[in-house]
Amino acid sequence: MHKDQGKTGGVKGYLTKRRLYVVGCITLLCFSFGFVWNTYNDTWEFTSSKVSYIMSNNTQDLDDFHKVNLLSNHTCFLEDLLQVKLPRMIYTKPQILKPSRSDVLTMTPWFAPIVWEGTYNSEILNEQFRRRNVTVGLTVFAIKKYVVFLKKFLETAEMYFMVGHRVNYYIFTDRPEEVPEVVLKEGRNVVVLQVQNYPRWQEISMRRMELISNFSQRFINEVSYLVCVDVDMRFNDQVGVEILSNLFGTLHPGFYAAERQSFTYERRPASQAYVPSDEGDFYYAGGFFGGTVMEVYKLTKKCHEAIMMDKANGIEAIWQEESHLNKYFVYYKPTKILSPEYLWDDDMGRPEILKKRRFLAVRKNHAAIRNK
């Protein structure tokens, strides 16, 4: 027998006894290492799932603990817990027994808040909306001579409207070349939408419903909310995310304290805007409403259809689209209502309840500006 053959004759000339011994030792070492490694991992998994178990519910019985342990998926829960970071939110605590305003109604009977100065904290609201990276669309019509209002409107909007948020100004006009250039802050854009004009100012005012609904296909891809306002206005104080909600309307400055009977709703049953004398909550202004693009689409489409039906029947509502808006809000209640702070006219004086005048009518000479 060859000296390298030994008792394992089968491996003749290939593995010697000594080599086999070395291979055996290495194999044994590998197995031992694997066992130690697995045991270490199992112990770690056990420990980490135990941490998550303890954190989640320390009153569970042992069966539950085993279930949790089995379900655990190699995640290091402890590390995850250490990574959870939430911003601190420091502000004055709300006081249940001390309402912030007791001089005005701050909630409707259908639980829609009415927004007055003192009823909200803009720091909390700004934080919530910024996290959602919300973009707001502001629609405004400047047809014919009304382009003259755009400069002041846009300049003051840059100072006070949705400060710190993303804004698209959608300017509907028949005179795109007359839209003034205004310096805009970051994240804010002017979009000029060329539209036709009409001879009568009433028609221009009413057609806003049709145009906003027609452009909603575009708006839905670009903004989350739409705010629809008159152009012969200027911002005079902050108008921020506190106004945003699914569907909102604004109390008309001339009627916020009036009784139902004095609201200038359309009272002729022949009109689609007709509201019976024993219905209605508030009188809303045509010059400031809004909501999500979808809700504004539904509102403007419905109002436009009603306007067209009236036209076919040879009737025009007393306050044009404002009458149709008011009819809509009787049956589709707004989810938030803006106080007259958000649409004021200094000709109405300065009542005590009005802590801010955020959006003010610009005085205009009707004869000189309308139908021109």
Find the shortest distance in angstroms from Cβ 162 to ligand UD2.
Answer: 19
Find the shortest distance in angstroms from Cβ 126 to ligand UD2.
Answer: 27
CA angle at 272 for the pair 268 and 274, rounded to the nearest 5°: 40
DSSP codes joined into one string, 152-209: HHHHHHHHHBSTTSEEEEEEEES-GGGPPP----TTEEEEEEE----SSHHHHHHHHH
Interacting residue with ligand UD2 among 142, 227, 239, 296 (CB under 6 A): 142
| CB closest to ligand UD2, residue no | 286
Nearest of 221, 199, 198, 222 to residue 210 by alpha carbon: 198
Q: CA-based Rg of the chain, rounded to a whole angstrom?
A: 35
Indicate the SS3 state at residue 239: strand
**190 Cβ partners below 8 Å, 6+ apart?**
154, 169, 171, 179, 182, 184
Interacting residue with ligand UD2 among 210, 242, 321, 341 (CB under 6 A): 321
Interacting residue with ligand UD2 among 106, 156, 205, 272 (CB under 6 A): 205
Number of shown-chain residues binding ligand UD2 (CB under 6 A): 20
Name the catalytic one among 210, 295, 316, 322. Answer: 322
Find the shortest distance in angstroms from Cβ 292 to ligand UD2.
Answer: 21
279 catalytic? Reply is no
What is the DSSP code (8-state) at residue 107? B
Stretch that binds ligand UD2, among 77-85, 218-226, 275-283, 316-324 (CB under 6 A): 316-324
When asked if residue 320 is in the footprint of ligand UD2 (CB under 6 A), the reply is yes
For residue 84, the tally of other CB atoms under 10 A from its CB is 6
Site string for ligand UD2, 261-290 (x = CB under 6 A): ------------------------xxx---
List interacting residues with ligand UD2 (CB under 6 A).
Answer: 141-144, 146, 201, 204-205, 230-232, 285-287, 319-322, 343, 370
Which residues are catalytically annotated? 322
